Structure 1
Amino acid sequence: MALDAETRAQFIETLGRFVRERLRPIEAKVAEDDAIPAQIIAEMRELGLFGLSIPEEYGGLGLSLSDEIEVMFTFCQTSPAFRSAFGTNVGIGSQGLVIDGTAAQKARYLPKLATGELVASFCLTEPEAGSDAASLKTSARLDGDTYVLNGTKRYITNAPHAGLFTVMARTDAGNRGAGGISAFAVEAGTPGVHVGKPDKKMGQQGAKIADVIFEDARVPAANLIGGIEGKGFKTAMKVLDRGRLHISSVCVGVATRLLEDSIAYARERKQFGQAISEFQLVQAMLADCKTELYAAQCMVRDAARRFDAGENVSTEAACAKYFCSEMVGRVADRAVQIHGGAGYVADYGIERFYRDVRIFRIYEGTSQIQQMVIARGLTRA
């Protein structure tokens, strides 16, 4: 569903106020505590953020991707850990069900995902399968009316809070490629499903990742997403196209915040008797940030429009994710430079953002994987 212009503007204005009044004041505390307050999670649920992309018939907002990215441009002008709290419900955690789930699977899980009552995680990466996702080793063996899952998934976002896991596992042991992989909806609490200790990370404190281990975990055959074996890898790739554009919009939002903070600091900070914003070399860094940010916005908006029109945007999504994730890293680096010593110490929060944005060049496909996807798209075309 595409929102009318007035409704979208009102929703984005409400989110902007929420970011300024509720989220920015507690950014440092969330990082220090490595936890987002339960009250903030409740308020995000009330705003409908967990159900942005889930169809209205299941209780979500059912936003088009074009609307979703505009929402993220605004919401993500704060610590990205806040976005991560609901990001898997909006993207990779739910979209496998939205795109390829059976009617019964959608009816069972999507309403709870839309409200945030249920948090979903996406289990693809393994200790020896990340960029080469098709080589995953987690197995799913049919035994009567259940599948028996065994294997380990690594770096799974929101795993400690998840009530549902979208799990990619190999159902055809004789097919070592993508065609042997199927997708399952696995409920937390299933005997044999264990979540490891949360990992300590470089950045994005407050957002949790952990291993998920499957030891003879019995999953009902009815939880095979789509009801067909061998379609899991295709489901994952469909999910990642939208997910990569979502992450691209997150990068744009964070870069916008970094640029605004850098402009404000450059106007206030004085050296040699004048504001450093008057110095051409500082102006050049600000100009470079704005130019790259504008280019990123245009890329994401164009790709989202094409996605909503039903076009295959695998190449464009990879272009956007590659450019935007690298762009926000460069903007963060310039922000530290503009802030000077203040950018290196914790009080201003710039060094925290510098660490936070580093992950964007890694998850949902590294920059190098995006280059491969782009090149493959070009040569096949």
Structure 2
Amino acid sequence: MRDFVRNRVVPRELEIVASDAIPDDLRQQEAEMALFGDAIPQDWGGLGLDLVQLAMELGYTSLAVRSMFGTNSGIAGQVLVGFRTDAQKQQWLPRLAEGDVASFALTEPGAGSDPAGLRTTATRDGDDWIISGPALVGDERTGYRAAMTSLARGRIHIEALAVGSAQRALDESVSYAATATQGGTPIGDFQLVQAMLADQQTGVMAGRALVREAARLYVTGEDQRIAPSVAKLFCTEMVGKVADPTVQVHGGTGPRRQDTAPPRRHAAAGRSPPRSGWRPALSPSSHAADRDRGAPRR
């Protein structure tokens, strides 16, 4: 998977952005690798892979690649895996694993993050159901529980993607700091740049550890509510704080450079909206002080 992401997808990120589509040959490769069923159990035609490792790898590149199959094996597929009959699993899961597109009806104008606020209704009519909105999977006893369980699992997937995106931003920073020079000195030798790299590395490692612990608690059943939410909150804020210094490390050209655009774009897609009270780790005064000691201007 790492080879596929870094050697086949990453070089084509600008092409994906320009065309606003995943190239057909990449989609075909994903299907041949059985990625549409990456988290679907092997008994139902999937790969049954680890909950977070694959997502961390996919987070390294355009999140559109992951979105092609994320719903199939994730939020929609897991409702079928955990709450449907064997006959329904046999009918649908192999098809999802092969690439048929699935969906999960959740978002409404006034609901989404709060599933309890959904206004779509399902009313029994004999042996049938009358749905006031998009079709739903489930019954009156398990539908809401199935949705909430699947959403909790999905949070772990999202936070793992955020860690992958943060790792990409860190790698871009380290690579540039090691090769770019000012006055004949690699900018990675400047204390301010080193401090930014250290903060980035700390965020990535903390996020990775938190995701793995949340995944462990989810799989064992010890905590399928609080831990996934805590890890998602941390990681989706962390990825933004790791991506922002990538632009600073690249100096005055950072906002315009193509090699910094993908990590910043991926981070923006996965980060939480900024909350009041957050401030950058380094203030303008510290920038000026370090610049006076010989740090590169940004």
- TM-score tier, shorter chain, comes to 0.7 to 0.9
Secondary structure of residue in 2 paired with 1:82? helix
Normalising by structure 1, we get a TM-score of: 0.68
Aligned to 1:94: 77
1:44 pairs with 30, 49, 72, which one? 30
Q: Give 1:279 deviation, angstroms.
A: 0.5
Segment of structure 1 superposing worse, 99-108 or 27-36: 99-108
Q: Is 1:149 equivalent to 2:149 in the alignment? A: no
Q: Go from structure 1 to structure 2 and tell me whether the alpha carbon gap of 1:313 and 1:135 turns closer, same or farther (over 3 Å shift).
A: closer
Q: Contact 1:52–1:68 (CA<8 Å) still a contact in 2?
A: no
Q: Contact 1:262–1:339 (CA<8 Å) still a contact in 2?
A: yes
Question: Which stretches of structure 1, 4 residues or more, deviate above 6 A after TM superposition?
Answer: none
Q: Go from structure 1 to structure 2 and tell me whether the alpha carbon gap of 1:346 and 1:266 turns closer, same or farther (over 3 Å shift).
A: closer
Q: Contact 1:24–1:78 (CA<8 Å) still a contact in 2?
A: yes
1:132 pairs with 96, 114, 124, which one? 114
2:267 pairs with 308, 332, 357, which one? 357
Q: Give 1:359 deviation, angstroms.
A: 3.5
Identity of aligned residues (%): 45
Q: Contact 1:129–1:135 (CA<8 Å) still a contact in 2?
A: yes
Letter of the 2:106 partner, please give it. Answer: L
Q: Contact 2:165–2:266 (CA<8 Å) still a contact in 1?
A: no
Secondary structure of residue in 1 paired with 2:212? helix
Looking at structure 2, the residues matched to 32 and 251 of structure 1 have their Cα atoms a distance apart, in angstroms, of: 23
Report matched runs for 1:314-325 at 5 Å.
314-325=225-236
Aligned to 2:104: 122
Aligned alpha-carbon RMSD (Å):
1.9
Looking at structure 2, the residues matched to 274 and 367 of structure 1 have their Cα atoms a distance apart, in angstroms, of: 36
Q: Give 1:310 deviation, angstroms.
A: 2.7
Q: Contact 2:13–2:262 (CA<8 Å) still a contact in 1?
A: no
Letter of the 1:229 partner, please give it. Answer: E
Secondary structure of residue in 2 paired with 1:68? coil
Q: Contact 1:346–1:352 (CA<8 Å) still a contact in 2?
A: no
Report matched runs for 1:339-378 at 5 Å.
339-348=250-259, 350-362=260-272
Looking at structure 1, the residues matched to 174 and 70 of structure 2 have their Cα atoms a distance apart, in angstroms, of: 29
* Structure 1: segments with no counterpart, 5+ residues: 1-14, 153-166, 168-183, 186-224, 369-381
Q: Give 1:125 deviation, angstroms.
A: 1.1
Normalising by structure 2, we get a TM-score of: 0.86
Secondary structure of residue in 2 paired with 1:92? coil
Q: Go from structure 1 to structure 2 and tell me whether the alpha carbon gap of 1:341 and 1:122 turns closer, same or farther (over 3 Å shift).
A: farther
CA deviation profile, 1:249-278 (whole Å, cap 9, x unmatched): 111111111111111111111123311111
CA deviation profile, 1:184-230 (whole Å, cap 9, x unmatched): 24xxxxxxxxxxxxxxxxxxxxxxxxxxxxxxxxxxxxxxx2xx314
Q: How many residues align?
A: 275
Looking at structure 2, the residues matched to 62 and 345 of structure 1 have their Cα atoms a distance apart, in angstroms, of: 41
Looking at structure 2, the residues matched to 341 and 88 of structure 1 have their Cα atoms a distance apart, in angstroms, of: 39
Looking at structure 2, the residues matched to 109 and 264 of structure 1 have their Cα atoms a distance apart, in angstroms, of: 45
Q: Higher strand share goes to which structure?
A: 1
Q: Is 1:296 equivalent to 2:184 in the alignment? A: no
Report matched runs for 1:1-381 at 5 Å.
15-63=1-49, 67-116=50-99, 118-151=100-133, 167=135, 184-185=136-137, 225=138, 228-348=139-259, 350-362=260-272
Letter of the 1:36 partner, please give it. Answer: I
Q: Contact 1:95–1:239 (CA<8 Å) still a contact in 2?
A: yes
